[in-house]
Structure formats: structure tokens, C-alpha cells
């Protein structure tokens, strides 16, 4: 019996992280909205798409093949802080952490946020900065130096103002 060639094979479920996710996780949300007050991004904007419920609906739409992985979906997934406060508040035990991980993986695998600037920042951080401890140490020292300069600058300005206040008085 002949084996199917790669071109005749069905795409693997892992081609889409959200479609490959156990559907019982995708459909857990019952849209009650009890998580909304705990979500900092919803608190800030009062917009449904910036709420856990809204994001889960977007993820489910991707899993159900009703929505493409677009730039606006990607930006929404990165606007989420991943703080998981919504998980603690959810009475239905929705596994937002798993949904969120798969949604971010989906975004990365589809490259919808790709740009030269993003690639450069990622190369500099992931492939260069984080690969050697001494580089991180140098960055830490530089930050400490900048803070020290700012503090020194603040104190000298403070002294200048004090001197001038006495002169004027």
C-alpha cells in the first residue's frame, strides 16, 4: 500500500496552537463577566475586547475557524498583561493561562507582528543580552550608574534652589 505524500497529508493540529488545544479548555467560559472587575486592562479601557471574556471569545473564534490570526488579534494578546487575576476570579475555573500561552504561541508562529525593529530587539535581547551573565551585569551596572547620576543631579539642583532662595530672602 502506498504511503501518502506530504502534500496529501492533513495539516497537523499543531499548525494552529489554538485549534490544537483541547476543546474542553476553549469552551469553558460561560460569559458571566465576573472576571471583568479584576482585569486591569478592562478596568482602564472599559472595552469588552480588552477583557478576559473578550479575549477568550477571540481565541475561541480562531479555534473555531471563524477568525484569522491578524495583527489586531496579536496586539490584543500582547495588550493582555498575563497577570492571571481573571483566573482567580473565575467561578467556572477557566484555564486562562493555557489559553493565553497558546494564543501567544499562535501569534508568534504566524509572524503577524513581524517588523525589522521587533526582530532587532528580539535578537539583541534573546540571542545576545540574555545569553551571557556579564552582559546583564553590565546593563545592571549601567542602570545603577544612570540612577546615581540622576540622584546626584537632583541633589545639586536642590542645593542650587536652596542657595538662591536664601539669596532672594
**95 sits near ligand SF4 (criterion: CB under 6 A):** no
**47 sits near ligand SF4 (criterion: CB under 6 A):** no
Within 106-145, which residues bind ligand SF4 (CB under 6 A)? none
The DSSP annotation for 99-130 comes to HHHHHHHHHHHHTTT--HHHHHHHIIIIIIGG
**Using alpha carbons only, what angle is made at residue 90 by residues 109 and 44, rounded to the nearest 5 degrees?**
70
C-beta of 16 vs 100, nearer to ligand SF4: 100
Q: From CA 42, how far away is CA 101, in angstroms rounded? A: 20
- Interface residue with ligand SF4, options 81, 120, 136, 152 (CB under 6 A): 81
Pick the piece of the chain touching ligand SF4 (CB under 6 A) from 4-12, 53-61, 115-123, 161-169: 53-61
Q: Min. distance of Cβ 83 from ligand SF4 in angstroms? A: 4
**55 sits near ligand SF4 (criterion: CB under 6 A):** yes
Type and span of the H or E element at 52: helix 52-63
Q: Min. distance of Cβ 144 from ligand SF4 in angstroms? A: 31
Q: Is 111 left (phi over 0), alpha (psi -120 to 50) or beta?
A: left
- Interface residue with ligand SF4, options 59, 77, 80, 99 (CB under 6 A): 80
**84 sits near ligand SF4 (criterion: CB under 6 A):** yes
**34 sits near ligand SF4 (criterion: CB under 6 A):** yes
Provide the 8-state DSSP code for 34.
T
User: Residue 24 burial by CB count (10 A; 0-12/13-18/19+): exposed, middle or buried?
Assistant: exposed
Residues making contact with ligand SF4 (CB under 6 A): 29-35, 38-41, 52-53, 55-56, 80-86, 89-90, 92, 94, 96
Amino acid at each position: 500500500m502506498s504511503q501518502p505524500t506530504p502534500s496529501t497529508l492533513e495539516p497537523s493540529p499543531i499548525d494552529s496552537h489554538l485549534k490544537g488545544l483541547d476543546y474542553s479548555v476553549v469552551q469553558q467560559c460561560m460569559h458571566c463577566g465576573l472576571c471583568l472587575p479584576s482585569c486591569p486592562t478592562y478596568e482602564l479601557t472599559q472595552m469588552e475586547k480588552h477583557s478576559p471574556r473578550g479575549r477568550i471569545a477571540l481565541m475561541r473564534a480562531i479555534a473555531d475557524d471563524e477568525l484569522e490570526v491578524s495583527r489586531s488579534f496579536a496586539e490584543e494578546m500582547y495588550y493582555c498583561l498575563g497577570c492571571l487575576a481573571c483566573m482567580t476570579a473565575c467561578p467556572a475555573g477557566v484555564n486562562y493561562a493555557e489559553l493565553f500561552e497558546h494564543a501567544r504561541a499562535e501569534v508568534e508562529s504566524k509572524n503577524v507582528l513581524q517588523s525589522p525593529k521587533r526582530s532587532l530587539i528580539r535578537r539583541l535581547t534573546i540571542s545576545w543580552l540574555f545569553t551571557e551573565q556579564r552582559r546583564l551585569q553590565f546593563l545592571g551596572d549601567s542602570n545603577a550608574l544612570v540612577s546615581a547620576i540622576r540622584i546626584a543631579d537632583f541633589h545639586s539642583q536642590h542645593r542650587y534652589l536652596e542657595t538662591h532662595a536664601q539669596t532672594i530672602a
